[in-house]
Amino acid sequence: MAIDTVVVDYGGVLTNPLVETFVAFAELAQLSTDELAGALVAATQRYGQTPMAALETGRISERQLTERILAELPEGAGRVLEEGHSFGELWFRGRRPNTPFVEYLHTLRSRGLRLALLTNNVREWEPLWRAQLPVDELFDVVVDSHKEGVRKPDPGIYHVLFDRLGVGPERCVFVDDTEENCTAAEELGMRAVRFADTRRAIAELTDVLGPRGAGSTAAASVAGADHALVGAGSPGTSTHGGPR
């Protein structure tokens, strides 16, 4: 059966890489990246679940996330987060939309493909990320972890997606920057494209979709230079987290 539905992740696909947002957040919070990463690891060990996983499934609030992180930092560190600046406000100062890829998705929609957004995201941050993207104009279906109480890579959230779309996994291709999320999608029968940069993602989608997936070479070249992943590891993993 031909693939006619393109499902995309949010953070690290429709935005700049998560590692850039993580580094910018640490600087704005007046923390080193090691201090921030260490606090997240310590909070994970204390509660048995990453703070972002709890936040993205609605089990804790943004304020509780902040409290868990502050509790694991040296005394006085992260004071910016206690002085009227929310975690989300600082996080989104380092977040930029991946405009070339968004434009490419508009092209796919104009060619008759259905589009869906499958995101691990945060209740308090919905106005922030929706302000950066033409969500309702672009996507037929949006599945957001905090509303469903389950997040990628749990199979449950993919089944919510299939139910909302009214199609089976064999008709979908999924684009995500996190390997475990792509693996989960493939195990359920979807095709998956691991996002590293826009140029490569467009090339892989063209292979999957055929002529309808062909994109603008100029747009892809610009995005490839601007959106390449920085460094060897991305904080789009279970410890560092962030909407994706």
Q: What CATH code is carried by the domain that includes residue 214?
A: 3.40.50.1000
Domain contains 105: yes
In this predicted structure, the answer to whether residue 220 has a pLDDT above a threshold of 60 is: no
Q: Which of 93, 115, 148 is the last residue of a domain?
A: 93
The mean per-residue pLDDT over the stretch 165-178 comes to 97
Domain contains 201: yes
The mean per-residue pLDDT over the stretch 63-92 comes to 91
- Based on the fold, state whether residues 30 and 9 are members of the same structural domain: no
For residue 176, the enclosing domain spans 5-16+97-226
Q: Which two tokens stand for residue 131?
A: 């302000």
- Based on the fold, state whether residues 135 and 147 are members of the same structural domain: yes
- Based on the fold, state whether residues 11 and 24 are members of the same structural domain: no
Q: Which of 93, 108, 127 is the last residue of a domain?
A: 93
pLDDT band at residue 219 under the 50/70/90 scheme: low
Model pTM above 0.85? yes
Give me the pLDDT at residue 144, please: 98
Distance of CA 145 to the CA centre of its chain: 11
- Based on the fold, state whether residues 68 and 106 are members of the same structural domain: no
Domain contains 60: yes
- Among the listed ranges 190-194, 208-212, 223-227, 238-242, which one has the minimum average pLDDT value? 223-227
pLDDT band at residue 237 under the 50/70/90 scheme: very low
In this predicted structure, the answer to whether residue 147 has a pLDDT above a threshold of 80 is: yes
- Based on the fold, state whether residues 10 and 29 are members of the same structural domain: no
- Based on the fold, state whether residues 137 and 210 are members of the same structural domain: yes
Give me the pLDDT at residue 216, please: 60
- Based on the fold, state whether residues 213 and 137 are members of the same structural domain: yes
Domain contains 232: no
Q: Which of 93, 125, 152 is the last residue of a domain?
A: 93
Domain total in the chain = 2
pLDDT digits (tens, 9 = 90+) for 45-60: 999 999 999 999 999 9
